[in-house]
Amino acid sequence: MLVNAILFGSVLIIILFLSLFLRSLKFEKDKKDKKEKCKYKICDLKFKTTDTKKIAIFNVTSIDKNTFFIDFPVYFKFYSDYRFKAKVKIHYTTPGDNDKEEILNKIIKFESKSKEHKYYINDIIMGKITIEIEIKPEYGYPIIEFGILENPLCEITSDHKLEIIFPK
């Protein structure tokens, strides 16, 4: 009788430990499925004018403690009633270093009512990203929408869009 009670108690303890272990595995799986929240800030929209060009410049920074941009998708959407040609440059600078590292330098030709261009930044960037959009006004004044898309590593907390309307 004593042997049966000890055997029953030990089986009960083993079942209790197994159930706690399985619950902890499920909790770890749920934890892995949850994405970290990303908070980005689009700031400092400035316009420059040279003899034949208009340039819009703005920065994208991370509000979180770290400022790493990994597999960072951005998009540009161009709207215009006229055809135009735009040059998009993306570069970044790291804190304490004035050298600019260029990521993208592309000319986009526009011949329809709207055009969307997606670009994925796949570098590990620590610092701020600066984006320059250059247009020639003789072709017309487009409206450009810039946005940050969903990232596989983190969840976007709010809409990160910027509408750029060049001054005439």
CATH of residue 118's domain is 2.60.40
Q: How many domains does the chain have?
A: 2
Domain range spanning residue 132? 37-165
Which residues are paired to 47 by β-bridges?
56
Kind of pairing, strands 36-38 and 154-156?
parallel
Question: Per the structure block, which two tokens stand in for 35?
Answer: 């994405």
- Residue 35: which pLDDT band, with cuts at 50, 70 and 90? low
Both 19 and 54 in a single domain? no
Given a cut of 80, whether residue 150 has pLDDT beyond it is no
Q: Which helix (H) or strand (E) holds 26?
A: helix 2-33
The CA distance from 22 to 143, in Å, is: 55
Both 4 and 41 in a single domain? no
Both 27 and 62 in a single domain? no
pLDDT digits (tens, 9 = 90+) for 66-91: 556 666 778 778 777 777 778 888 88
Both 12 and 85 in a single domain? no
Both 77 and 24 in a single domain? no
Given a cut of 60, whether residue 28 has pLDDT beyond it is no
- pTM, entire model: 0.69
Both 53 and 30 in a single domain? no
